[in-house]
Structure 1
Amino acid sequence: MTRTYLPGILAMAAIVVASNILVQFLFGQWLTWGAFTYPLAFLVTDIMNRVYGASAARRVVMVGFVVGLVCSLIGTQIMGEFGPLVTLRIAAGSGVAFLVAQLIDVSVFAALRGGKWWRAPLVSTLVGSSIDTALFFSIAFAGSLSFIHPATDVSWAAETLPLLGVGPMAPLWVSLAIADWSVKLSIALIALIPFRIITARLTRTA
């Protein structure tokens, strides 16, 4: 890796670390504060992809993946009120979701990079964010995947409640996933502004 990629590497590492910390703090009934920082990882990946290419973006993704693994490993060793702050299922879900979603984001962006400036970052982030949410919440909390780590108690996530408090009955983790996904989609739209500004500035100075 070259010094050229260092800002992207540091930004990705900071986002992953911050998200792993902030996910411990609730925001309302369905979200944590980490839900608002984690989607910025897609912004970093897309900026690197636009300015330096898919190879550079994948390198930054791998750094984020390694940092995330370290954070999860540390979290499994810290005991909270109800056990480890990070269970093995959450660690597995987080790692798999991040790596798969980010790499798909890179591929989709690369395929669309020749179109209008907003198409590649918007579509790639929407696709990546959707996959990220589906993989993480399913692996971490779905009862049908309890074989991943049978010792992890996720019965609380399977509690049946009105969807987001107002809809049809569904497991709690589904409401959490939909709320998280909604934030990701909202930030994907908002992030088009800094994406445009930052990439325009970097491509002028490159």
Structure 2
Amino acid sequence: MTRSLIPAILAMAAIVVASNILVQFLFGQWLTWGAFTYPLAFLVTDLTNRFRGAAAARRVVLAGFATGIVCSLIGTQIQGEFGPLVTLRIALGSGLAFLVAQMLDVTVFDRMRHARGWWQAPLISTLVGSSLDTLIFFGTAFSAALVWLEPSNDVSWANEILPLLGAGPEAPLWLSLAVADWSIKLLLALVALLPFRIIVRRMTADVA
């Protein structure tokens, strides 16, 4: 079982590492390049769940979680312009968001495994997981309400009151970042249905 999961584990680890690197590079005003790679983790989880079951998918998630911890530990040792690239709050938010959201994705997908539409399980599980992921990460990493998690970490910049996404009602900056990130996750959840369908068809045809 474990050996058969090696491709999925390697894919998950690659996505986590790439996302941790690309999150350092801005894409426009509200996003980083990591926003475009991280959602692929849900595709890996769902494909594993589809072919190997929920227990196997959880093993792949735990492997990704372990990889994320290593990336966070490395990031805390690298000094950027304003301090460590990875603060305690970012590390906590990232790890907690990944683990909780991915495990929820596994559970939702498994319960919808026999849904009439082939797209329902991967789409709904990813949408639910992605939404929780965004809420946990940005809330934990930047919300002023959780400043007690790391008092020495100045997150006042993330709580500056600005128009939401530059045009909406006034809100803390981190909410704009969260909404932009969440929007990309939703878009990629739809896009990911295509490779999900193609891979499932090919794998099913090979077995037949």
TM range (shorter): over 0.9
The answer (yes or no) to whether the contact 1:46–1:106 under 8 Å persists in 2 is yes
* Residue aligning to 1:181: 182
What's the offset of the Cα at 1:195? 0.4
CA distance in 1, matches of 2:180, 2:73: 26
The answer as to 2:109 corresponding to 1:106 is no
Aligned runs of 1:75-154 on 2, under 5 Å?
75-115=75-115, 116-154=117-155
- Counterpart of 1:20 in 2: which secondary structure? helix
Please provide the CA RMSD for this pair: 0.8
* Residue aligning to 1:34: 34
What's the offset of the Cα at 1:74? 0.3
The answer as to 2:50 corresponding to 1:15 is no
CA distance in 2, matches of 1:81, 1:102: 32
Identity between Structure 1 and Structure 2 (%): 71
Q: Structure 1 residue runs of 4+, over 6 Å off?
A: none
CA distance in 2, matches of 1:125, 1:2: 24
The AA in structure 2 aligned to 1:186 is: L
CA distance in 2, matches of 1:6, 1:198: 17
What's the offset of the Cα at 1:205? 3.0
- Calculate the TM-score normalised by the size of structure 2: 0.97
CA distance in 1, matches of 2:93, 2:204: 35
* Residue aligning to 1:2: 2
- Counterpart of 1:66 in 2: which secondary structure? helix
The answer (yes or no) to whether the contact 1:51–1:203 under 8 Å persists in 2 is no
CA distance in 2, matches of 1:136, 1:164: 18
CA distance in 1, matches of 2:203, 2:86: 37
CA distance in 2, matches of 1:59, 1:205: 25
What's the offset of the Cα at 1:204? 3.1
What's the offset of the Cα at 1:41? 0.2
CA distance in 1, matches of 2:125, 2:150: 31
* Residue aligning to 1:195: 196
* Count of residue correspondences: 206
The answer (yes or no) to whether the contact 1:12–1:64 under 8 Å persists in 2 is yes
CA distance in 2, matches of 1:117, 1:152: 45
Can you list the C-alpha shifts for 1:185-205, whole angstroms capped at 9, x where unaligned? 000000000001112222333
CA distance in 1, matches of 2:202, 2:2: 19
CA distance in 2, matches of 1:91, 1:2: 28
CA distance in 1, matches of 2:202, 2:123: 19
CA distance in 1, matches of 2:137, 2:95: 8
The answer (yes or no) to whether the contact 1:133–1:181 under 8 Å persists in 2 is yes
What's the offset of the Cα at 1:95? 0.1
- Counterpart of 1:51 in 2: which secondary structure? helix
The AA in structure 1 aligned to 2:156 is: S
What's the offset of the Cα at 1:3? 2.1
Moved more, 32-41 or 147-156: 147-156
